[in-house]
Amino acid sequence: MSRDGGHRSDLRAIARRAMLERGLLPDFPPAVVAEVEALRGPAADGALRDLRAQPWLSIDNDDSRDLDQLSVAEALDGDQVRVLVAVADVDALVAAGTPADGHAGHNTTSVYTPAAIFPMLPPRLSTDLTSLNEDADRIALVIELTVNGDGTLAGSDVYRATVRSQAKLAYT
């Protein structure tokens, strides 16, 4: 029971109703579920850079399973630093115009409530196939920044790469 004397299921029902009232879809339609269950993994892509040797790490809540961002930084010659940020590349598995793409495009975000989490993507995608889990090879969109010692940007690039998280760190 919650502190206010209600049940968690009541709070979940209230959260679902609030989402529906705001035009959000709390549940995945059968077409989305079927699409995601049929996924086997991304197709081979020779255009990907291989950045698995980088010391990637995620920083999130202790209990987070939908890890969608990794980072790494390295000192360069002089006073420059290279910062790499990898973001899970859901497009590697979910094609534009598919039911899963449409559902994610409609909601545009996961909704976190005290009673329940309503993910933007089905758990098989968000916590498994595209999650940047430790010791798992994943496809990511990488943003590479070269920063001067005074904080100015010396260069930038964006590209797709295969990454492998070396560590999962927590805020606490």
pLDDT digits (tens, 9 = 90+) for 65-113: 889 999 999 999 999 999 999 999 999 999 999 999 999 999 999 998 8
Give me the residue label for tokens 């291989």.
50
pTM of the full structure: 0.85
Question: Count H helices, E strands: the chain?
Answer: 4, 9
pLDDT in tens, 61-70: 888 888 999 9
pLDDT in tens, 113-152: 888 899 999 999 999 999 999 999 999 999 999 999 999 9
Tell me, what DSSP letter sits at residue 6?
-
Pairing of strands 167-170, 137-147: unpaired
What pLDDT shows up at residue 40?
86
Task: Tell me what the pLDDT averaged over the chain comes to.
Answer: 92
Distance CA 27, CA 89 (A): 23
